């Protein structure tokens, strides 16, 4: 696992205590893309957590961004998020 993936995983696990967490590095799909030139990556996150209960979808995304903190400026260029509570399934 890359250092970036490990850092993303650690932040999300620490802040959101997910029941399920899948992180995919999609950077290879964006080679040559203007946003990829600075070295930051493109990622997809699928996360299921009780901490999202009672939150609207936008609030869930904001919680993920907050958990990642400065990684959003230093390591992540683009992030696709699928954030659910366990009862919502896959």
Highest mean pLDDT among 35-39, 72-76, 79-83: 79-83
Q: Which domain does 64 fall in, by range?
A: 3-88
Domain count, the chain: 1
**How many percent of the chain have pLDDT more than 70?**
82
Q: Where residue 74 sits, what CATH number does that domain have?
A: 3.30.300.90
Farthest-apart Cα atoms in the chain, separation: 40
Q: State pTM to two decimals.
A: 0.86
Which of the two residues, 29 and 48, has the higher pLDDT score? 48
Task: Flag whether pLDDT at 1 surpasses 60.
Answer: no
What separation in angstroms does the CA of 4 have from each of 39, 40, 55, 85, 90? Answer: 11, 9, 27, 25, 25
Identify the DSSP state of 33: -
Q: Are 43 and 72 in contact (CB under 8 A)?
A: no
């Amino acid at each position: 696992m890359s250092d970036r993936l490990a850092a993303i995983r650690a932040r999300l696990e620490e802040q959101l205590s997910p029941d399920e967490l899948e992180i995919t590095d999609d950077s290879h799909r964006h080679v040559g893309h203007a946003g990829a030139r600075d070295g930051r990556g493109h990622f997809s996150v699928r996360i299921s957590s009780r901490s999202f209960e009672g939150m609207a979808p936008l609030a869930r995304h904001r919680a993920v961004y907050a958990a990642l903190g400065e990684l959003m400026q230093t390591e992540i260029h683009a992030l696709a998020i699928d954030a659910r509570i366990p009862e919502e399934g896959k």
